[in-house]
Amino acid sequence: MKNQLNDELVLAIKNSVSDDMNIANLLMDILSMGKEAVYRRLRGDVPFTFDEVSKISSKLCISLDNIVNIKNTKRAFFDLDLKMQQLNDPLDHYCDKLESCILLFQKLHKCKNSTARLALNSLPYMFYLSFPHIAKFRLYRWLYQLEVIPTIGSYEEMVVPQKISDIEKRFVAEQRYIAYTTFIMDQNVFKSFIGDVNYFYKLNLLSNMDVQLIQNELFELISDLETIAATGMQKTGTKVNLYVSNIDLESSYLHFESDHCENSFMRVFSINIIGSQNPTICNIQKEWIESLKRYSTLISVSCEIQRTEYFNTQRELALKMGCF
């Protein structure tokens, strides 16, 4: 049984990374372990401990229930990583989250038919991580809620480490190669973000210049999305369908699928997620997102008037940033 579980874990690791990635080196980094110790585990000479399996599962978005081959579809299985106040270093936690997403995107690259479905009630990483001031504000807001801001100061005083900027750039580059992506956006996605900026401006944690920098990037983001909606594709040539929901979305739901893997996620507690690779859960998530299209308007390569009206409305809202 131990060898079987070890073999299942090794197989799951191989399926979770790109073909050109050195698994031994990856595990050395995740487990802070020497090369020979890692190879003993990969060969099955020494079984992975539960703590090691947990670290690998969290880092590579591998579902533990898939590893132990659980078949009881009457139960729902989720992988949780909601450390919140126990974080020793929130910025390291943030990097780990992005790294896990990057590994998932690389896994999706193995298949030409990779598909992403996202129903969004807030701005997703995919939209804003290429805009440094918006990305910095979202990170600042999260740190403020974790009550670590007193050690950072105002938004202007916060310095984003280079490692974070680098991993954000990698995230943006990798996600653009998913073959087919569908976004279903709550009508209040931008309004909610602007409300957050205004709140921190009222607290005197954002200066007029800070607001201006964020506002300029928001205008650029809106224009980029409008271009994507008009053409129906990313700059990389991958296809995009953009919907605007006519009903409020109570959460953000994400589903990723290819010939080799399937993952579903729900966004909780700002940057954290609840994820599952359980086929039943993934299918339910997929069907739920697809069902939201009935209440939504497709504005990609169609409905030109509605598309123009939607993006003009978002620009009007952005103009109110910092104004009361």
pLDDT digits over 33-47, tens only? 888 888 888 887 777
Task: Out of 28-37, 114-123, 235-244, pick the least confident.
Answer: 28-37
- Contact (CB, 8 A) for 254 and 265: yes
pLDDT for 84 beyond 50: no
Quick one: 126 and 87 in the same domain?
Answer: yes
Whether residue 71 lies inside any domain: the answer is no
Whether residue 250 lies inside any domain: the answer is yes
Instruction: Give the mean pLDDT of the chain.
Output: 84
Whether residue 69 lies inside any domain: the answer is no
Mean pLDDT calculated for residue range 250-256: 90
The first and second tokens of residue 114, run together, are: 């990779």
User: For the chain, how many structural domains are there in total?
Assistant: 2
Q: How confident is the model at residue 201 (pLDDT cuts 50, 70, 90)?
A: very high
Quick one: 6 and 123 in the same domain?
Answer: no
Quick one: 13 and 91 in the same domain?
Answer: no
pLDDT for 24 beyond 90: no
Q: What is the pLDDT of residue 218?
A: 97
Closest among 188, 132, 208, 142 to 165, alpha carbons compared: 132
Q: In the chain, where does DSSP find H-type helix? A: 2-16, 23-31, 35-43, 50-60, 64-67, 90-108, 125-128, 132-145, 162-175, 189-202, 208-231, 279-291, 304-319
Mean pLDDT calculated for residue range 84-103: 76
pLDDT for 305 beyond 90: yes
Q: What is the pLDDT of residue 149?
A: 62
Segments forming the whole domain that contains residue 55: 2-60
pLDDT tens per residue across span 157-197: 999 999 999 999 999 998 888 999 999 999 999 999 999 99
Mean pLDDT calculated for residue range 6-21: 74
Instruction: Provide the terminal-to-terminal Cα distance of the chain, rounded to the nearest Å.
Output: 65
Whether residue 288 lies inside any domain: the answer is yes
Give burial (CB, 10 Å; 0-12/13-18/19+) of 211: buried
At 120, is the secondary structure helix, strand, or coil?
strand
Which residues, listed in sequence order, are joined to residue 182 by a DSSP beta bridge?
117, 241
